[in-house]
Amino acid sequence: MAEGHYCSIHNTTFFKKGKMRGYAHPIKDEAGEDTGQWCNEEDLEKVKSGIDETRKPKPVPLQEGEEPLPKSKSQEIAEHVWWKEMGEMLRAKDIDVTKPAGKLMRTAYYAKMLSVLDIKIENK
Ligand SMILES: [Zn+2]
């Protein structure tokens, strides 16, 4: 598999042909139908770096007398909280989904929710 042009959100490879200005792939919905939207590698990188700076999962504070959770478990919970917050931001329209970065965050959120619910988008 080619390195460097793989979309970890949609588990698919980016491609570039014709007059495309960068690597991208079409975004499909839950039924595998084209949405008419594109996932751009360039935007994905922007979103990734934006998330790293501003929306890192926060550690979950322990309640009084509570046993510290193993690191992997608390990390899991922090991530869960992060995704939940993102969902709330999307619903509250704090994320501008008319912008490519916002659109991509929404797409990432839905992809995450689908994977959490263990819904298979593509046939095995
Ligand atoms: Zn993608």
Query: Digits of tens for pLDDT over the chain (124 positions)?
Result: 445 799 888 888 999 999 988 999 999 888 888 899 999 998 888 777 776 655 556 666 667 777 766 667 777 878 888 888 888 888 888 888 888 888 888 888 888 877 766 655 555 5
> At residue 112, what is the residue type?
K
Give the Cα-Cα-Cα angle 96, 98, 101 (nearest 5 degrees).
Answer: 65
pLDDT of residue 112: 81
How high is the pLDDT of residue 94? 85
In angstroms, the CA 65 to CA 55 distance is 29
- 87 Cα to the center of ligand 1, angstroms: 18
**What pTM value is reported for the model?**
0.38
pLDDT of residue 52: 61
| pLDDT attached to residue 25 | 93
> At 33, is the secondary structure helix, strand, or coil?
coil
Ligand 1: centre distance to CA 109 (Å): 12
Q: What is the pLDDT, as a whole number, of residue 26?
A: 92
Query: Among positive and negative, which fits the CA dihedral 117, 101, 82, 45?
Result: positive
Q: Which residues pair with 26 in a beta bridge?
A: 38
Q: Which residues surround ligand 1, an ion (CB under 5 A)?
A: 7, 9-10, 39
User: Residue 15 has what pLDDT?
Assistant: 92
- CA of 60 relative to ligand 1 center, distance in Å: 29
State residue 32's pLDDT score. Answer: 86
